[in-house]
Amino acid sequence: MAGSRVVFHVADGEPLGHETALRNVRNTMDDLPGAAVCLVAHGPGLRLLTGETGFGAGVEELAAAGVEVLACRNTMKRLGVAENALRAGVGTVSAGIGELVRRQEQGWAYVRV
């Protein structure tokens, strides 16, 4: 639905959680065509955006389909993850939680997966 905006929060570091997150984002895109969709990962959830848990291709597919995929630079710094370790199409924000707060203040629907 044009005009809808949804931000997904990924903090889980487990593969099952990552699979669920990707499925939920895809399902939302199918159900709300034209919606702006963003996925923000921090903490253990950052593993999704490096492909470490086996879902790197899914992350790249979402980014290519127009999902804004963002990694927390605070987490990257803490874990020693370089920007070139992120999958293609993944951007960064200074703080994942701060980005989630800003999006919610702007009226984005918030979903933790």
Which pLDDT belongs to residue 2? 67
CATH architecture under which domain 5-112 falls: 3-Layer(aba) Sandwich (3.40)
Q: Is the pLDDT confidence value at 1 over 70?
A: no
Going by their DSSP bridges, the two strands 90-93 and 109-112 should be labelled as unpaired
pLDDT at residue number 100: 98
**Mind listing the pLDDT tens digit for each residue in 26-60?**
999 999 999 999 999 999 999 999 999 999 999 99
Between CA 87 and CA 58 the distance in angstroms is 10
Cα angle 82-83-89, degrees, rounded to a multiple of 5: 150
Return the number of other C-beta atoms located less than 10 Å from residue 110's C-beta.
13
Question: Tens digits of per-residue pLDDT, 61-93?
Answer: 999 999 999 999 999 999 999 999 999 999 999
pLDDT in the model for residue 4: 97
Read off the tokens for 87.
């999958």
Question: Strand order in 36-41's β-sheet?
Answer: 90-93, 68-72, 36-41, 5-10, 109-112
